[in-house]
Chains A and B, each alone.
Chain A
């Protein structure tokens, strides 16, 4: 047994790729624990920050400055009575929160936390993430329909329309980042999450700053689509409190509701991690020419890459945007999704496609010219 474990410890390749089942299970456990703690922390931070923005104190009673409040809430939700509406569709009602939670957690098996620190390195990493997170719409639609009530159904319909339409903008933004991976010396792109970060390393630039304003615009489009995908403000129409009470999970209570809650926050972290991997260099440190030397090496070895820092930052942006804006009308969201963002993305993809064509056919001159134009 000890020999068996030791034989795994020596391997230095990616756990999944090398068939290193031991490390893969360790990472799965770590991610599961880390995600749960992160959800608790985000919940506490959100309540505190919102409270302070509105000149309140927020949770103060349980623990110092209400630090233990989320745990108290979790215990309360676990022992609360579980209510199912009598006319609800039993099986679908039961399976919907499970689908949402499974999809939200499954996404994390391809997130790279370091050059070898991931559960697995899939050849189709980005596609896998987009696919699995698009399945979470199903859970929401199922929940809304199975509740057999008007508010949840309206919320689910709004939510699915919004998520499906913003998936297009999200997919196109991701395509622009994947295209940038093919500007390597080898000339072949990749969809693997680790491969994408490695090509940012090879090109010596975060993709958010590649082709200067263009990469940043693509990142911005992804960030907007990301907020819309996770149904956060100002895109929280699916659970607009003033009109739909709580949207698709109005009829859910107790433990089932807490599963939706868990899934919503871990989905936020998941899409943030896609954004960090694609545009903000994953585990690569920022400003490598400025922040080099032994001191910074130590700092960045303590923090395994900048991933966690940036994840935290992006998740924080997702939270604190909430009280600042009133939400949009449905028509505005549709217009913004299809008209503006698709137009922007179209503008973005054109020069990059051109430069790609000239690159692969071996003509370096025009591509450099186009790159300088886009600079």
Chain B
């Protein structure tokens, strides 16, 4: 299927993601921040879809928006919100903040002006219909070792969480 209104959707999704990202740090209420973060993650999933990576988009929705963020909300709701709302929201670190922002801005400008040679000049044609199968072949073929190391890391994290959370095992 030919893509429809690509430019519109790209700017719409990017704008949504950026605005939601700004809302995450400016909202006083932590629940509102979490909801804005969910919106940002969904916008990101849409951008993945536009890059012809439907599997990544689906996993993004299931894991981040549906799983992790629900647990986030779960914890935030049990915290006393009135108390957290009185706390200071921003650290007064203007000098460091401005320096970091300028550095990032310079980096963006450099990448935009000189980066043409760094990136391939056209989009790689991805097989949209077999995206999932390609990812499986990559994960369990070329990157098997890395994949196994990541799963070991996750196992360690799970065991660590249980050991720390439970007083008597």
* CB pair A128 B74 closer than 8 Å: no
Tell me the chain B residues, 1-24 only, with Cβ under 8 Å from chain A: 1-2
* CB pair B62 A138 closer than 8 Å: no
* CB pair B54 A123 closer than 8 Å: yes
Binds B, one of A29-37, A129-137, A207-215: A129-137
Bound-state Cα–Cα, A190 to B55, Å: 12
Residues of B within 8 A of A130 (CB): 62
- Contact mask for chain A residues 157-176; partner B; CB cutoff 8 A; 1 contact, 0 none: 10011001001000100000
* CB pair A123 B74 closer than 8 Å: no
Given known pairs A130-B62, A135-B61, A141-B74, the reply for A167 and B67 (CB within 8 Å) is yes
Q: Is B148 an interface residue (CB 8 A)?
A: no
* CB pair B74 A19 closer than 8 Å: no
Bound-state Cα–Cα, A160 to B59, Å: 19
For the residues of A in contact with B, the DSSP-based class is: helix
In the complex, which of the residues A132, A157, A171 contacts B77, with contact meaning CB atoms closer than 8 Å?
A157
- Contact mask for chain A residues 176-198; partner B; CB cutoff 8 A; 1 contact, 0 none: 00000000000011110000000
For the residues of B in contact with A, the DSSP-based class is: helix
Interface residues on chain A, number (Cβ under 8 Å): 33
Tell me the chain A residues, 303-349 only, with Cβ under 8 Å from chain B: none
Q: Is B35 an interface residue (CB 8 A)?
A: yes
Q: Is B25 an interface residue (CB 8 A)?
A: no
Given known pairs A123-B54, A138-B38, A142-B35, the reply for A160 and B70 (CB within 8 Å) is yes
* CB pair B66 A19 closer than 8 Å: no
Residues of A within 8 A of B57 (CB): 124
Q: Is A16 an interface residue (CB 8 A)?
A: yes
Q: Is B69 an interface residue (CB 8 A)?
A: yes
CB distance from A255 to the nearest CB of B (A): 22
Q: Is B47 an interface residue (CB 8 A)?
A: no
* CB pair A160 B54 closer than 8 Å: no
- B52: nearest residue on chain A (CB-CB)? A123
Residues of B within 8 A of A18 (CB): 1
Q: Is A88 an interface residue (CB 8 A)?
A: no
CB distance from B42 to the nearest CB of A (A): 8
Given known pairs A141-B70, A164-B71, the reply for A188 and B58 (CB within 8 Å) is no
